[in-house]
Amino acid sequence: MRTDTIFSPITLGAIELANRVVMSPMTRDRAGPADEPNAIMVEYYRQRASAGLIVTEGTQPTAEGKGYWRTPGIYTQQQIDGWAKVAEAVHAEGGKIVMQLMHTGRVVVPANRGYEADIIAPSALPCPALVPGPDGTPVPTAMPRALAADELPMIAEQYATAARNARTAGLDGVELHCSSGYLINQFLNPASNKRDDEFGGDAQGRVRFPVMVAKAMADAIGADRVGIRISPGNPYNGMDPIDAHDSFSAFLTALTEENSGHAFAYVHLADIKLEDMDAPAFVRQHWTGPIILNNMLTLDTANQALTNHVAEAVSFGRPFLANPDLVERFREGAPLAKPDYSLLYQGEERGYIDYPPYQAA
């Protein structure tokens, strides 16, 4: 039995963490008018830099990758410059930060963009879920265009370019978002992938494009700076939960160093507690690298996961909202503040950077 705790250091790929507390990605809708990180975003991430690793909110790798209101990008110089300020602030506090690359694919409300751009997906099937528009009211998404097979290498290279841009901005790596019904998940899942070419059909076909993207990112910045975010069975945005075993066993197996030729930094697992799947054990069966475990953890259950070799690190989302000093509170056994959920996606500074540390609370 291991004796690691959340306060023990660890290295994930090329990234050395001072502790095993990871801040999970959370959309907050605070980016500037050009989808650039602004001053309050810099402060938000700086405040939380005592985490061993911060994973940023989902960031669109291209203009076509945006589906939500005021989410940041990483494809213009202005956006790169904004992220450079975020990375500098986090590093100045001794933290590490990676960028989650999130292409929403078909999950697009055009009014959220403020510009004209293509809406793409593996198949011409709209997302069945409603998505918040600019005023927060859920509305139907737009009809996507099915990508042609010869376009897919270009899309993979766009991800690779985004990864290079993140490193240019000074971030320590990137995380590929492969869940929540976004583009990569849309290829993995049979509910959204009805293709009859080599990128569709059975699980081996459906994983081909996601693996192409992961490899392109690894070739661009080194696999040891690329993480993979998954949530098998998550039905969000119209995904079919029934196919979790086939899709994700094929995907994880293809990404192992033995099969891909790349030693990726980690798999970030959001465990939704499926009745027919022990997700951490499932990932261990098909994946040989480090695991970051996520979803509804407490200090005790997080430490248990580390002690029992369920994961190498643990990530927290909602506790970081109102507790920028979460690691210190865990260390001192201090109570956790509760966030104002009405300010998750609005309020600018309020409910974003105005939560005090415990000593000042």
- Cα separation, 159 vs 81, in Å, equals 18
- 98 beta partners: 55, 173
Nearest-5° angle of CA 41, CA 141, CA 241?
90
**Nearest of 207, 201, 154, 199 to residue 178 by alpha carbon:** 207
Contact 339, 38 (CB under 8 A): no
CA 225 to chain centre: 14
Instruction: Single out the catalytic residue among 182, 266, 352, 355.
Output: 182
Place of tokens 């994946």: 287
Contact 175, 55 (CB under 8 A): yes
182 is annotated as an active-site residue: yes
Read off the DSSP letter of residue 209: H
As a whole number of Å, the end-to-end CA separation of the chain is 38
**Amino acid code (one letter) for 49:** A
- Cα separation, 357 vs 323, in Å, equals 7
Q: Which residues are designated catalytic? A: 182
